[in-house]
Chain A
Amino acid sequence: MNSGKHKSPKSVKVQMADNFRKKQIAESSPKGVTAVRENSLFPLSILSLFTFFALSWLWAGWWMGDTLRIAYERSFFAADATLMHWLWQQSFGSLWILGRALLTLYHWPVVGGLLVASLLTAGSLLFGYCLRLPKRWRWIQYLPAGAWMIWVSWSGLDLFFMHEPGRILGIPLLAVLVCLMDAVIIWSFKRRRPASSSPTPNASRDGVRAGLFGLLVVVLLFLLPCLLLNQRHPYLRPLMRMQVQLLHDDYAGMSATAHENASLSYRPLAAYYAVALTRQGTIAEQLFDVRLEYDSICVHDYDGDPDLGGNYYLIDCDYHSGLIRPAMHRAVEELTMDGPSLFTLKYLAKMSLIENDWALARKYFHILHQAPFEGEFLAKYEPMLDRPDLVQADPEFAGVLKAAPIQDSFESFYEKPCFLGYHAVTSSGRTMEALTLSVMANLYSKRMPDFLMRCQPFVGTTPPRSIAEGLITQTQKHPEILQAFPQLQMDAQRFRGFIQVAQNYMQDRPRGAEVLFNQFCGYYPYYYFFGNLRATRKSGDSEKEHSKAGVN
């Protein structure tokens, strides 16, 4: 019997030599190196992947969640050839339709974000597989996703305003499909794993380094678009937040968002802030609480030329200030230029209800029925068909109707934009709310004679804060104001203090606007002398010329 316990010295020697040789082979073979590196890279590459997925979700669901939610509202998708025909017949129309279909998941930004994260992660994996990347270069697979995020951040409102919203998710979808096809072809013809690079003595350490670098790239890939967005479109996230809040009738939330971003000065923010205040009935108290200087926003028209972006918020503003027809006008123009969107269709449906135009409202509801996930809107508004009593009882509609004009005229007789121009020139309204809007429009436009003329109904009352401050501003020229509003004596002291401070900056108002902002923001005299300078710069100091200025 020959047992292992009784090996000859020679055989032991041979076995040791074999083991040594095997170990040498194992250490020197590529497979061995791969195994070692895989072991060291495995947790890091998986960590990178999970980090990428989690950050994608966070970015697409939270950071960009409101933006893509509004993009969904400005888009429209229905599984109906008639409704999608206009898009279908355009170049890449079918792809944009698919992109719009995916965008519908942004009805719930968390779900939409999950979809985007899945798309980006799957796309990155497939891209890496298709390029046959060595593991140390694996971080490259995340670059296309990063490029897309940078494009999204770079575009801002251009993502969907006057541009095709189907591109947002259509492009990554196409990329994933192309990578998937490529990967299937590669997988079909070449099942073996790609050869690794030649081994190096420090392979393990290199692998860890590569893994850490990949992780760093992933984190940077998310920081970069975030920084870019904040730098290029600082107004975008607060603006989108306010619009989402408007969708939920959260006017207090809109005001809060505006106050949190009071130092930002962009027209759309100011416009939605005014909408919130109008709905809350506090416009005469808080309108000037935010900076109203108006930096340019980065928006481009259909041809890619810079645009002021005024049409972005005019439908909302016209509607909430009671100008149903001008709002309908603009909604139809938008529908003509951009095709139907949930935003325009919902507005058109609501405005048709307000106008008691039941047949037209029925048509828009019928179309909205074709869109997925709009049941809540339909459940709220469709029962109002043929029911003027329900229309009148709706708080939003009632608020809109309060400010509506009581005499017919033509849009073209008012200053642009109509929502402000109308209220600036109107001198009669069905309610005090309508008059207040008119007074505030004149205060905002610095049309002081028109403002004073409309203050007559406030005599004998305690006027709202901004109106009182507006009156104070005029006491130097019209001392009789203090006789009509004796309670303003208290405020006159503050005004005199303000004038003393402001005097130093009258020759350099832009600087004064900056220096005095924190101290006097919300105080109408500050706005009167230092606010909205860009719009009124050419006008000098004369009130008459101020009134001609194209503010807002």
Chain B
Amino acid sequence: MRCNYTFLKCQASKLERYIIHYTFAIASTMALLACSSRPSAIPATFTELTDSATVYPDYRDVTIPPNIAPLNFMVTDASASEFVAEVGGIVCGANKDGKFDIDTIAWRQLLAGSKGKDVRVNVYAHRENGWVQQPAFSFHVAAEDIDGYLSYRLIEPGYELYRQIGLYQRNLTNFTQTTIYENNRTFDGGKNHCVNCHNYQNYDTERMLFHVRAAHGGTVVTHGSKAHKIAIKHDSILAAGVYPSWHPTLPLVAFSTNKTGQVFHLLHPEKIEVLDTESDLILYDADRNEVKNVLRTTDFLETFPCWTPDGRRLFYCSARVPQYDAPTLDVGLTTRYDSLLYDIYSMSFDPETRSFGEPRLEVDASSKGMSCSVPRISPDGRYLLYTLGQYGQFHIWHKTADLWVKTLNDDSLDVSEENCYPLSAANSSDADSYHTWSSNGRWIVFSSRRDDGNFTRPYIAYFDQTGQAHRPFMLPQRDPEYNLLLLKSYNVPELTRSAVRVSIEELNHVVRHTEAELATFQGPAPEPLSGKGEASGQ
């Protein structure tokens, strides 16, 4: 019976392959036919227009790295039947759909020769009365490369349920997207699981981790091409690790451990509130599989840990639990959701003794009625990049969330506003958050809902020597319409210098067929502290 079933499955998959092959063959032929009709030369005569055409994605006046994939774009002009674009000397044509597919080799040559220069783009549209020229635009090519790989999670910008989600890695120099790990393509309630919070050690893929929730739960930690699954669970620890940060050199991960819930507004412009009712910080030793508390408090909520590049300080966000008048903490915090204001603190860290110093206020947002989240330190240690919003910490659902920077001075206790400023050129009127630095500190990638207010897209911005961000651009796609049609959000973009080394087969095996190894709790269980918190291990 088993053999027959296998045979049937085999036959079915063969049939499916045939269908796919024939469909592809037909589609390819059609595509070839379509391509062959595209115009390929700049029109000799044309009329110049003054009104700008609608270009998607909007690459006007952006700064791009010299190793980025072609900025394919589409132009919308209902009255045009075909288009021609001249991108810094590269001529390409488009049909009525206005989609330009720039030749990759020519593009690379163009960028190699344009470092530090502007590239001008002319677009011509063929209308009923002849060719017209849209107003030209240009983009600037920076001198510094961006890291070659961007990994992210693709998930519906949903609420509570999840079905098909995965971690993916995009080669930024071309359009190749590879799967790091996917949960299940066909739904299986018993095996359904969520993956989140992927994180790498110092832009390298030698060590990475991500969490698996629900079925097959645990934290998957990789070392080179090998992976294993661990479980962080102990009476002395609030909950499993959530937001991670790898120590830049040691096999240590600082996690926040959060009890998180979400509620849904009936009218408020922000659709969703994600709230922590409790949160602490823990430290996990990946080599010893040991875990210990770093900060355990009841009056404060600590989250979003982040190491400095030298590994000698740990930044994190902390908020005082507001007073509430409600029967339970959950309801109380929900009613006071807009009173949760997070500041950024840091603690010194001694790598020898693995102990932390006293918390130090880095950004005082709460006193101004604002709230910070996601602190990220630039690789040169000079800048603290964070999100500032009106309240709370889950700023990716807050329209007021913008990217801010604080300049860091050695041993500075200065929390004055002069050191903090918004990255106005990069920010939008919608949520901008979950940012990451490139390893050379010249690029930042962040998630933004600026496109439609609902679906996050990765945006890349140049961060110059003076500490200012330039106008960002959306991650380019081969089909420029891709992000208009995609019904998933990009979560937590993370840059790495190299591709992930562990294979999807290894991760599949570890997630689905191995039990999570319980991390050993190290040290005495500290009593919950009612104050601002004391660092453990001192």
Which A positions have Cβ atoms within 8 angstroms of B? 80, 82-83, 86, 89-95, 98, 301-303, 323, 325-326, 328-329, 332-333, 335-337, 340, 357, 359-360, 362-363, 366-367, 370, 404-412, 422
The A contact surface, by secondary structure, is helix
State in angstroms the CA–CA spacing of A94 and B19 once bound together.
Answer: 7
Is B12 a contact partner of A92 (Cβ separation < 8 A)?
Answer: yes
Contacting A363 at CB < 8 Å: which of B164, B185, B187, B452? B452
Interface membership of chain B positions 440-456, coded 1 if the CB is closer than 8 angstroms to chain A and 0 otherwise: 00000000000111110
A337 touching B163, Cβ below 8 Å: yes
Q: Does B381 contact A (CB under 8 A)?
A: no
Specify which of B19, B160, B487 is in contact with A340 (CB 8 Å cutoff).
B487
Chain B interface residues (CB < 8 Å from chain A): 12, 16, 19-20, 23, 156-164, 185-190, 263-268, 271, 273, 334, 451-455, 479, 481-482, 484-487
Asked, given contacts A362-B452, A363-B484, whether A405 binds B156 with beta carbons under 8 Å apart, the answer is no
Q: Contacting B266 at CB < 8 Å: which of A360, A367, A408?
A: A408
Report the separation of the CA atoms of residues A83 and B481 in the bound assembly, to the nearest whole angstrom.
11
Known contacts: A91-B186, A360-B454. The answer to whether A329 contacts B162 by CB under 8 A is no
CB <8 Å contact, B452 and A411: no
Contacting residue for B485 out of A80, A92, A410, CB 8 A: A80
Q: Within the assembled complex, what's the spacing in Å between the Cα atoms of A362 and B483?
A: 13
Residues of B within 8 A of A94 (CB): 16, 19-20, 23
Contact partners of B189 in chain A: CB under 8 A: 301-303
Residue of B nearest to A328 (CB): B271
User: In the assembled complex, how far is the CB of residue B365 from the closest CB belonging to chain A, in whole angstroms?
Assistant: 24
Contact A410 B263, CB 8 Å, known A337-B187, A362-B452? yes
Assembly CA distance A453 to B273 (angstroms)? 32
User: Which of A303, A340, A357, A405 contacts B267 (CB under 8 A)?
Assistant: A405
Chain A neighbourhood of B163, CB < 8 A: 336-337
Q: Are A332 and B266 in contact (CB under 8 A)?
A: no
Residues of B contacting A404 with CB < 8 Å?
267
Task: Determine the chain B residues whose CB is within 8 A of the CB of A92 once the complex forms.
Answer: 12, 16
Q: A95-B16, A337-B187, A360-B453 are in contact. Are A412 and B263 (CB under 8 A)?
A: yes
**Cβ-defined contact, A332 with B19, below 8 A:** no
Contact A325 B267 (CB under 8 A): yes
Chain B residue contacts of A370, Cβ below 8 A = 485
Residues of A within 8 A of B158 (CB): 332-333, 335-336
Q: How far is the CA of A357 from the CA of B430 in the complex (A)?
A: 12
Cα(A303)–Cα(B163), bound, Å: 13
B484 and A332 contact, CB distance less than 8 A: no
- Given known pairs A336-B162, A412-B263, the reply for A359 and B451 (CB within 8 Å) is yes
Nearest to B261 among chain A residues (CB) is: A412
A-B contact pairs, 24 of them (CB 8 A): A83-B487, A90-B185, A93-B16, A94-B16, A301-B189, A302-B187, A325-B265, A329-B159, A332-B158, A332-B159, A333-B159, A336-B156, A337-B187, A359-B452, A360-B454, A363-B451, A363-B484, A366-B484, A366-B485, A370-B485, A404-B267, A410-B266, A410-B273, A412-B263
Which secondary structure dominates where chain B touches chain A? loop
Closest to B267 in A: A408
Across the interface, name the chain A residue whose C-beta is closest to B270.
A408
Contact in complex: B265, A408 (CB < 8 Å) = yes
Complex CA–CA separation, A303 to B454 (angstroms): 30
Residue of A nearest to B17 (CB): A94
By a CB distance below 8 angstroms, the chain A residues around B273 are 410
Extra pairs beyond A332-B156, A363-B451, A404-B267 (17, CB < 8 Å): A82-B485, A90-B185, A90-B186, A91-B16, A91-B186, A93-B16, A94-B19, A325-B264, A325-B271, A335-B158, A336-B161, A360-B453, A360-B454, A408-B267, A411-B266, A412-B334, A422-B266
B residues in contact with A366, CB < 8 Å: 484-485
- In the complex, which residue of chain B has the Cβ closest to the Cβ of A85? B486
CB distance from B331 to the nearest CB of A (A): 8
Partner among B16, B23, B188, B334 whose Cβ is within 8 Å of the Cβ of A410 = B334
A409-B266 contact in complex given A82-B482, A82-B486, A340-B487, C-beta closer than 8 Å: yes
Q: Which residue of B lies closest to A422 (CB)?
A: B266
CA of A316 to CA of B217, assembled, Å = 35
Judge whether A86 and B164 touch: CB under 8 Å: yes
- For the complex, what is the distance from the CA of A340 to the CA of B455, rounded to whole Å? 15
Bound complex: CA of A303 vs CA of B486, how far in Å?
27
Listed from nearest, the 9 A-B pairs whose CB atoms lie closest are A408-B267, A303-B189, A336-B156, A359-B452, A410-B263, A411-B264, A82-B485, A336-B158, A360-B452
When distances are taken between beta carbons in the complex, the residues of chain A under 8 Å from B263 are 410-412
Docked pose: A93 CA to B485 CA in angstroms: 19
Given A92-B16, A94-B23, A410-B265, are A333 and B160 also a contact pair (CB < 8 Å)? yes
- With the chains together, A86 CA to B183 CA distance in Å? 13
Assuming A82-B486, A90-B185, A363-B455, is B190 touching A303 (CB within 8 A)? yes
Q: Return A159 CB to nearest CB of chain B, in Å.
A: 17
Shortest beta-carbon distance from A418 to chain B in Å: 9
CB-CB nearest in chain B for A322: B266
Q: Write out the residue numbers on chain A whose beta carbons fall within 8 Å of the beta carbon of B482.
A: 82
Q: Which residue of B lies closest to A162 (CB)?
A: B187
Question: Whose C-beta in chain A lies nearest to the C-beta of B160?
Answer: A333
CB pair A357 B453 closer than 8 Å: yes
Greatest chain A CB density within 10 A among B264, B273, B479 is at: B264
Q: Chain A residues near B157 (CB, 8 Å)?
A: 332
Q: Write the chain B residue with the least CB distance to A305.
A: B189
Minimal Cβ-Cβ distance residue in A for B19 = A94
Q: Which residues of A contact B19 (CB under 8 A)?
A: 94-95, 98
Collect the chain B residues with CB atoms within 8 Å of residue A411's CB: 263-266
When distances are taken between beta carbons in the complex, the residues of chain A under 8 Å from B186 are 90-91
Q: Would you call A326 and B484 a contact (CB within 8 A)?
A: no
Q: Are B266 and A325 in contact (CB under 8 A)?
A: yes
**Complex CA–CA separation, A363 to B267 (angstroms):** 22
**Using Cβ atoms and an 8 Å threshold, which residues of chain B touch A336?**
156, 158, 161-163
Interface centre among B20, B159, B188 (most CB of A within 10 A): B159
